[in-house]
Amino acid sequence: MANTTIDPSILQRAQAWINDVNIDDETKTRISRMIEQDPGELAESFYCDLEFGTGGLRGIMGDGTNRMNKYTVGMATQGLANYLKKVFAGENEIRLAIAYDSRNKSNYFATIAAEVLSANGITVFQFEQLRPTPELSFAVRYLHCHSGIVITASHNPKEYNGYKVYWNDGAQLVPPHDKNVITEVQKIASIAEVNFTGDKMKINMIGESIDNEFLKISKSYSLAPEVITPNKDMKIVYTPLHGTGITLVPQSLRNYGFTNIHIVEEQAVSDGNFPTIISPNPEEKAAMQMAMDKAKAIHADLVLATDPDADRIGVGVKDLEGNYILLNGNQTAALLTYYLIKQWQAKGKLTGKEYIVKTIVTSELISDIAKNAGVEYFDVLTGFKWIAGVIRDLEGTKTFIGGGEESYGFMIGDFVRDKDAVTACCIFAECAAWAASKGKSLYELLLDIYLEYGLYKENLVNVVKKGMSGQAEIKAMMEGYRANPPKVIAGSKVMLMNDYELRQATDIPSGKVTPIDLPKSDVLQFFLEDGSKISMRPSGTEPKIKFYFSVRADLKTVADFKKAEAGLDGRIEEIIESMKLR
C-alpha cells in the first residue's frame, strides 16, 4: 500500500523512531513493514503518545508511541525515577518494589523497569515470579519502599498490558503525586533520555518470605474460625483464570482451614494468551463457565475466581432451585460488608470508631447495612486509591473494617491498600461457612439481606468508542449531558444531579446548588423521583464510557423475590431505552 495514504504527521512520528539510534533494529523493521503494508495499524500506533494517566500506563502491546513496549515503559520509568529523586532527595536510599502478572511480556516490562530504576540509583525489590497486585501493595509497606510498580492490565483482553504505580503507603498514586509524576514523565522528550543500563547490585529478588508474611497477616483477619472447623470440607471450586491467584489463593484458603478445594486445572496454567477464555474478566459469564461447570459436576458449595492480577473476585453460588448463578460485584460487596459488620458486632469489636467505604457508583445497599449497624460510611470516587486515601486520612483515629466497589473489588482491613481478592476469597468462604452454621446457603443469606434492607438491582452498560475518534465522541457525550441534563428519564423526574467535574450537586426542582467535597472527576449522576440512580463516567483505562444503573424496591417475602427482581430488571431496561443506549 502506498505511503501517500498515511497522514504526514503520523508518518513523521514513525520515521523518527526508524531514524532513532536508540531503537533496536527489529522494532525498526516492524515499523517499516507497517508503513508499507498496514497504514491503519501505523496510525493507531503513532497518532499520539500512550498516555501516562493518574494510575500509570495501559495499552495494547506493540511498536510505536501509543503502544506498550520497551521504550514507552522505559520513558515512563525514567520520569518516575526523576520524580522520586526530587521528592526523596534527602534520603540515603530510595526503595521501590516491582511485581508482575501472567500477561505476555509482563516479566519483560518488569525487568525493563528494574533496569531503568537501578540505573538511576534506586534500590529495587523485584518479585522473582508472578505475584498478585495486593501482595505488591503489601510489599511496598512491608519493605519500607517509597514507591511500587505492578505490570498488569488487570482484566483487559490479552492484547493489553499496563503499568500501575504505587506510593509509600501501598496505595496507587493520588494528588499531588499522580499529576506530578505525569508531569515528569511528559518531560521525557526522547528515548535518549532514558538510562537502560541497569545496576544488578541494586536489584534484589524477592518471593517466598514476602508470601509468608502476607499470608500470615491475611489469616489474622479471620473473624470466626470456629465456624470453619465444622464446615472445613465444604466444596470450593477455584479458578485463577490463568493468572497470579494460583500463587496465593489456594494456600490462603488452606491456611484459613478449608480442606476441600478443587482447582480448575485448565485455567491454573499462567498464560497471557488466556487460552480457555476470550477475556479474563470474572465479571463475564463466559470467563466463569469452566468453574461453574466443575461446580455443577461435583456439587460444590462455592465458586471463587480471581482475575489475572488477583485483585478482583468472582463468586458463584447455588440458588434456591440448586442452579449455579454468578453474583455481581454489588452483591459480593454487600455480602462481605454484611458479614464483616455482623461479626464485628458479635465479637463486641464495635466501639463507634469503625467505618466502611464504597465508591459513588456502588450499590446504596452497602451504606444501608452500615447505617443500620451504626457504622460510619464514606462515599469516594471510583478507584481503590480513594478508599486507601480515607484510610490514610483516618489512620490512628478510626478503624477501617472493609470497603468495595461494584467492579468486583473488595478490601478487608488495611494491611493492603488496594483491591485484595486473595483475602476476599478467604473471608467469602468464611462467610459461606457462617451461613452454613445457621443452616443457610449464601444465596439464602443474600435474600435475608434484601428482606431487611430492600431489594437493590444494578446493571452496567459500556458504550465502546475506539481509536482516534472515540475519545472525542466520549467527551462530546459527557458535555452534552452536562450542558443539557434530562428533566425526565423513563417517565420519572430527575430530582438531583451530581457533577463531580464541577464538584457540585444541583437540586433540580429548586435549582439549589451545593458543593461536593470530593476531588474533581468527570462523572455525572442523576437521581430520579422513583429512587433510581444513574451514573456515567468515561473509563480511565479503556476506550469506553460506562453507564451504571441502580433501582430499588421493598421485598416483603422470599416468595416475592423473582417477581420483584423481574420488575426491577424491566425498570432498568426502560431507563436504558429512554437514554437510547440500546
- Residues annotated as catalytic are 154
Contact predicate 55/152, CB 8 Å: no
Residue 190 CA to residue 386 CA, distance in Å, equals: 33
**In sequence order, what DSSP letters do the residues of 238-259 get, joined into one string?**
EE-TTSGGGGTHHHHHHHHT--
What element of type H or E holds 514? strand 513-515
SS3 content of the chain, % helix, strand, coil (to 5): 45, 20, 35
Please, which residues bridge with residue 514 across strands? 505
Residue 39 CA to residue 12 CA, distance in Å, equals: 13
Please, which residues bridge with residue 239 across strands? 305
Q: Where are the beta strands (DSSP E) in 429-512?
A: 455-464, 488-489, 492-499, 504-507
First to last CA, the chain: 38
Look-up: residue for cell 446504596? 364
Residue 457 CA to residue 189 CA, distance in Å, equals: 48
What element of type H or E holds 575? helix 561-578
Query: Backbone dihedral region of 188: left (phi > 0), alpha (psi from -120 to 50 degrees) or beta?
Result: beta
Instruction: Characterize the bridge pairing of strands 492-499 and 524-528.
Output: antiparallel
Residue 369 CA to residue 374 CA, distance in Å, equals: 9
The sign of the CA dihedral 69, 71, 74, 78 is negative
Look-up: residue for cell 476531588? 519
Which of 382, 378, 376, 377 has its CA nearest to residue 361? 382
Which residues lie closer than 8 Å to 462 by C-beta, 6 or more apart? Answer: 539, 544, 545, 546, 547
Please, which residues bridge with residue 410 across strands? 404
Q: How many residues does the chain have?
A: 582
Q: Tell me the three-class secondary structure of 298-344, residue by residue.
A: HCCCEEEEECCCCCEEEEEEECCCCCEEECCHHHHHHHHHHHHHHHH
Contact predicate 239/289, CB 8 Å: no
Which residues lie closer than 8 Å to 20 by C-beta, 6 or more apart? Answer: 190, 191, 192
